[in-house]
Structure 1
Amino acid sequence: MSKIYVIHENDEWTDHLVKRLEEIEAPFELWHVNEGTIDLSIEPPEGIFYNRTSASSHTRNHRYAPEFAEAVLAWLERHGRKVVNGSRALRLEVSKVNQYMALNNTGITTPKTISAVGKDNIIKAAEKLNEPSFITKHNRAGKGQGVQLFHSMETLKEYVYGENFDQPVDGITLIQQYIEAPQPYIVRHEFVGGRFVYAVKVDTSEGFELCPADACTIEDMYCPTDQPQTVPGAKFQILEGYYHPLLNKYEQFLRENKIQVAGIEAIQDQDGRLYTYDVNTNTNYNSDAERTAGIYGMLELARYLKKELNNTLIEID
């Protein structure tokens, strides 16, 4: 029987999708890729495969989930299976360098960034960046991992050579131009099937751990779902009637990189310029914000997956 296979590594982030798939009576199966085996001599089952492996898997002790997911995707794509967010999407998910190069290739502006491996080279990169304020972040991250703001080289050196230095899982630290917004918020643009669904305004006044999921790990100091937020001033607010000319570029970027489902984050500077700084291909949605606006991302996603499954069944017949 053909069905929807959800490739993932975090049960909590999959629960909401499971409920929506059950609601619309779509057949599905979960494939957890923290560990497992693949028999490369046989063909995969019939159906469609939705990959939502996360760059932050190592923070849940799933260190090799992306690598195993990549092996699974190679097997699926070799046999011509329909994959939503396939191997190209995964490569961008686990590397901000790859994200920025792909965004730039589509004509989308990203903050000035230098990548560095090694503590001495982090200092050299910051000196070369030559910005009065700058941030560090991990190349393979998620949940705001490694994001630190610095206003001087002295404080950077104290951090890098101190005992609190946060070593990136892939060894690559990014030193990035600090974009100071007029107000403390960013905008996250949600896409399903490569099409814009809605934009959500995210309050950054408490930091950049901006995971919108309904379940956050206990380590998430600024978890947005610790308390229900349904009033004006909530951490997540869906923007009614939102439009920006960059949306067309975002959809082009998704097509060019074979990404069907994503959340793309951007920040505006004091002069009104918009900088795109993150692409999330395992995007989550905040239920409180959606309930207030009457728009439901996971429901849209479930319907999209069921439609794609039905299209696959028609092609087989």
Structure 2
Amino acid sequence: MAKIYVLHENPEWTEHLFKRLDELGLPYEDWLLSEGTVDLTAEPPEGVFYNRISASSHTRGNRYSPELTNAVLAWLEYHGRTVINGSRALQLEVSKVSQYLELEKHGVKTPNTVAAVGKDQILEAAKRFEGKSFITKHNRAGKGLGVQLFDSIEALEAYVDSEAFEAPVDGVTLLQDYIKSPDASITRCEFVGGEFIYAVRVDTSEGFELCPADACSIEDLFCPAGEQEEAESPKFRVIRDFHHPILENYKEVLTNNGINVAGIEFIQDEDGTLYTYDINTNTNYNSDAEAEAGQYGMLELAKFLGRELEAVGKEEVGNHR
């Protein structure tokens, strides 16, 4: 019997999805890809395969999960299986360079960015930002990895030459214009089945780690502006009746890259200019924000996977007639 297969490397991020699948009575199997094998001579089972591998897997000791998943996805796609967030989604998940170029291709403005490999090249690239604030981040990231704010090249040089320097797992450091939000917030737009479901406002006053999952720890935040007073409003808040022309561009990006499930983040500067800086294909949802709004991303995702499974079942019946 066909079922839903959930490919991932972090059980903390699948718990809520499995609960929703159970609620809907949908058959599923947990495919943990922290390690494993791929028999290229074998044929995959029938079903729907949902890829939830994260760019930050190496921070949980799963350094090669993306590489293993890439092999699994290639195998599944070769056999024509229904894959949700397939190989192309994984390529974008592990490379912000690829994300930015793809966004720009579809008319979505991204911050000015330079990619550099090697400490000397990082400092050389920083000259392009002389006289203004800029940030560094990792190309293969997630969880705000490597995000640091600098006001001068001298400050960057001191950081790069110190023991605090955080080397990217793929060796690629990004230098990027610092976009200052007047209300210290970013907006994350959630899509399921390629369709927009809601936007969430994220308070960034405490730092750069923007993961909305309940499992993410506030203690891990890097705060570039020193200590902040306790926020009066929730860190994550669903924006009711959000509408913006950028959503059509986002849908085009997702459609053209075969991405069904994603969270796309943008920030607006003091002039109202919108900059998009992240496509997260391993999207998570914040339970407090959802409960307050009465909207539930994992439920929508489980329903979508159920519809895809139903389509596979009908196809199987048709093939056996």
The question of 1:235 aligning with 2:235 is answered yes
Taking the aligned partners of 2:216 and 2:232, their CA distance within structure 1 comes to: 22
Q: Distance in 2 between the 1:109 and 1:221 partners?
A: 27
Q: Which residue pairs with 2:139 in the alignment?
A: 139
Deviations 1:242-290 (A, max 9, x none): 1110000000010011100000000001110100000100000000000
| TM-score, L = length of structure 2 | 0.94
* Residues 131 and 177 in structure 1, CA contact (< 8 A), matched pair in contact too: no
Match of 1:211 in 2: 211
Q: 1:132 to 1:147 in 2, by over 3 A?
A: same
Tell me by how many angstroms 1:208 deviates: 1.0
The structural deviation recorded for 1:182 is 1.1
How far apart, in 2, do the equivalents of 1:208 and 1:16 lie?
A: 24
1:221-300 to structure 2, matched below 5 A, reads 221=221, 233-300=233-300
Structure 1 position 122 matched with structure 2 position 122: yes
Q: Please list every run of 5 or more consecutive structure 2 residues that lacks an aligned counterpart in the other structure.
A: 223-230
Indicate the RMSD between aligned Cα atoms, in angstroms. 1.4
Distance in 2, Cα, partners of 1:80 & 1:248:
29
Residue 160 in 1 paired to residue 160 in 2?
Answer: yes
1:191 matched residue in structure 2: 191
Q: Distance in 2 between matches of 1:58 and 1:74?
A: 21
Write the deviation string for residues 42-100 of structure 1: whole angstroms up to 9, x where unpaired. 11000010000000000000000000000000000000000000000000000000100
Matched to 1:284, the amino acid is N
Query: Structure 1 length normalisation: TM-score?
Result: 0.96
Paired with 2:297 and 2:13, the residues of 1 have a C-alpha distance of 13
Secondary structure of the equivalent of 1:238?
strand
CA distance in structure 1 between the partners assigned to 2:220 and 2:73 by the alignment: 30
Partner of 2:77: 77
In the alignment, the residues of structure 2 paired with residue 218 and residue 236 of structure 1 have an alpha-carbon distance, to the nearest angstrom, of 12
Equivalent position amino acid for 1:70 in 2: N
Question: Aligned pair count?
Answer: 310
3-state SS, counterpart of residue 54 of structure 1: coil
* 2:227 aligned residue: none
Rounded to whole Å, the distance in 2 between the matches of 1:19 and 1:220 is 27
* Match status 1:312 vs 2:318: no
Corresponding residue SS for 1:187: strand
List alignment gaps of at least 5 residues for structure 1.
223-230
Shift of 1:216: 2.4
Partner residue, 1:57: 57
1:148 paired residue number = 148
Q: Which residue of 2 aligns with 1:29?
A: 29
State the one-letter code of the partner of 1:302: A
Shift of 1:221: 3.9
1:93 equivalent in structure 2:
93
The residue aligned with 2:302 is: 302
Decide whether the 8 Å contact of 2:208 with 2:221 is kept in 1: no
